[in-house]
């Protein structure tokens, strides 16, 4: 049974290994392949999280590696879609800037307090869902032409708004936490 507790981490490593093929498929304009690989990566994220919680197989490695795998998959996907010209560069820049600001805030908090504990907020979870839906809908649109351009455009606006809202919320939270800890 102790060997089984490593299954969530193995699945997370598998997700990390899917990032280069997703990027390759997008850059080669094999959007259907990219969609299915991205979907598999997303499914694996749900499975590893379920197993870790259901069987108490959480680990420090998993707690660190899982969000890194998720963020890398998202950032690489957004970057490749921007590189291909199907997603505006400014939208990629906003998504990347938000993540860098959150990481910077977390590092500053850790530096000041030595007590970092990452806790996702509701707006952060909403933004993550919007990011995932944006990539999936865009890939389906590119691969199968089954999604109207108006939906893709609406999702881009929603992504911009959720990215800005969650970014501001995280900045406010980190500032308040840092002030409380320092004062």
Tokens coding 124: 């952060």
Residues 138-159, mean pLDDT to the nearest whole number: 95
Per-residue pLDDT reduced to its tens digit, 14-61? 999 999 999 999 999 999 999 999 999 999 988 988 898 888 898 888
Give dist(CA 172, CA 138) in Å, integer.
31
Give dist(CA 72, CA 91) in Å, integer.
16
Residues 158-165, mean pLDDT to the nearest whole number: 97
* Residue whose pair of structure tokens reads 């699945």 in the numeric block: 11
User: What predicted TM-score, i.e. pTM, was given to this entire model?
Assistant: 0.90
Residues 142-155, mean pLDDT to the nearest whole number: 94
Output the average pLDDT for the chain: 90
pLDDT score of 139 more than 70: yes
Confidence (pLDDT) at 119: 75
pLDDT score of 112 more than 70: yes
Give dist(CA 103, CA 49) in Å, integer.
22
List, as one string, the DSSP characters of 87-133: S-HHHHHHHHHHHHHHHHHHHHHHHHHS-------HHHHHHHHHHHH
């Amino acid at each position: 049974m102790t060997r089984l507790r490593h299954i969530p981490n193995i699945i997370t490593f598998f997700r990390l290994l899917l990032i280069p093929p997703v990027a390759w498929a997008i850059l080669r304009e094999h959007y259907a392949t990219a969609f299915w690989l991205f979907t598999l990566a997303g499914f694996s994220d749900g499975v590893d999280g379920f197993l870790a919680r259901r069987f108490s197989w959480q680990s420090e490695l998993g707690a660190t590696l899982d969000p890194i795998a998720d963020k890398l998959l998202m950032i690489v996907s957004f970057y490749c879609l921007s590189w291909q010209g199907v997603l505006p560069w400014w939208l990629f820049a906003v998504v990347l800037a938000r993540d860098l600001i959150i990481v910077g805030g977390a590092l500053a908090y850790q530096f000041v307090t030595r007590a970092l504990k990452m806790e996702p907020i509701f707006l952060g979870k909403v933004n993550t869902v919007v990011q995932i839906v944006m990539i999936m809908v865009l890939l389906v649109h590119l691969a199968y032409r089954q999604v109207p351009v108006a939906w893709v455009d609406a999702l881009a606006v929603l992504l911009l708004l959720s990215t800005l809202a969650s970014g501001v919320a995280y900045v406010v939270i980190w500032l308040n936490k840092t002030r409380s800890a320092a004062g």
